[in-house]
Amino acid sequence: MFTAIPKGFRLAVASAGFKTPGRKDLALAVSDSSASAAGVFTTNLFKAAPVLVGQDIVKRKQSARAVLINTGQANACTGSQGLANCKRAAALTALAAGLEAHDILPASTGVIGAQFSMSLWEKAVPALAANLGTATLEDFASAIMTTDSFPKYAGERLDFNGKSVLLAGVAKGAGMICPNMATMLSMLLCDAFVAPEDWQAMFRRAVDKTFNRATVDGDTSTNDTLYGLANGASGVTVTGRDLEVLEAALTRVLADLAYKLVRDGEGATKVMHIAVTGAPSDKDAEIAARTVGHSPLVKTAMYGKDANWGRIVCALGRSGVHFNPEEVRVALCGVELFKNGQPTDLDFDALLKEPLEQRDLPLDISLGTGPGAYSLLASDLTHEYVSINADYRS
């Protein structure tokens, strides 16, 4: 497991007691120098206060020094008071940590609608600042968890002309996961220098290939946020063709984190690796993949280890994508279940008995001979998901 922290960054966690007394629920990452800042945010029209503040900083300044994340209070749908509280929390942190408030990128997760308890912020921030440099990547990832069952972090080391560059990322999220940049939060730190416009562009492309191709329940949150800071502390400036190398590594790290989100979907036991090919267009392939991946009938069949191809083709047929049903082929875990408009004559229940016991389930769908293709990670749907979300506010 990758645990290294990129040069020039210090991490801290603290307990504010926003929801559970004594639990670490506040995390801060600080760069020793100004860093190029990238951000990708929820497309939900009900954007949380930290999303609005973070969007403004990234767009206006394209640089930052810190990322501040709290759990237990989403600060979403909280109006002008929520915006004021978000900025006040940043100001308190800036004062304690020797920063400027406009250099702190905020992110929050928790129950929608509740205002920040500013008295808890005032008590916790001094300890948070005092702890800078003492937290590990795993500590940070653990502090931002809500219904997650394990901390999610990943990274990679690259070499540019004999100099080492580190990428390290964390993420949280288990439910309300269908990022369209769910209570999905992520942060990526890099110790190379990358021009802000290049950094933002590569982030957008990497997110489209990773987080935006992961789903647990089809819900896009008010708080989805991914931040990236690149501070240049390694002494490496990435330009030209080296940008492609860095972007490929960034994509791999984010893909690792996105997979872990789906793997840890609330109550999830399976990860469907849905690959649609032969569609009229990439967009049609995406629609088909998401219709299958979001179908409660398909998801519960995977939970039940049931090779129910009928639920899959039914979802495809209602997706709105135009194709010839006679050309559709469906294979699960390498076993072809359906082609030529009817099931194959294989004993697929017997063939799939052992493969369906595994966590990762490849689901390959061909809609015909078109050029369109798309891939999606999707979890199954279990009794535990219902239990967790039925009791979420209690």
Please report the sign of the dihedral spanned by the C-alpha atoms of residue 269, residue 275, residue 279, residue 285: positive
Instruction: Say how far apart CA 85 and CA 336 lie, in whole Å.
Output: 55
Tokens at residue 300, please? 């519960």
Instruction: Say how far apart CA 84 and CA 3 lie, in whole Å.
Output: 35
Q: Which is the catalytic residue, given 183, 220, 251, 382?
A: 183
Number of other residues whose CB lies within 10 A of the CB of residue 159: 10
Give phi and psi for 237, each to the nearest 5: -105, 125
Q: Residue 351 burial (CB < 10 Å; 0-12/13-18/19+)?
A: middle
How far CA 160 is from CA of 4, 38, 192, 311, in Å, comes to 18, 22, 10, 49
Instruction: Give residue 365's identity as a one-letter amino acid code.
Output: I
Number of other residues whose CB lies within 10 A of the CB of residue 46: 12
Give phi and psi for 14, each to the nearest 5: -155, 165
Q: Of all helices (H) and strands (E), which one includes residue 224? A: none
Helix 309-317 / helix 282-294 crossing angle, nearest 10 deg:
130
Tokens at residue 129, please? 């600042």
Instruction: Say how far apart CA 160 and CA 180 lie, in whole Å.
Output: 33
Q: What is the DSSP letter of 226?
A: E
Q: Are 325 and 342 in contact (CB under 8 A)?
A: no
Question: Is 3 one of the catalytic residues?
Answer: no
Q: What is the DSSP letter of 4?
A: P
Residues noted as catalytic: 183
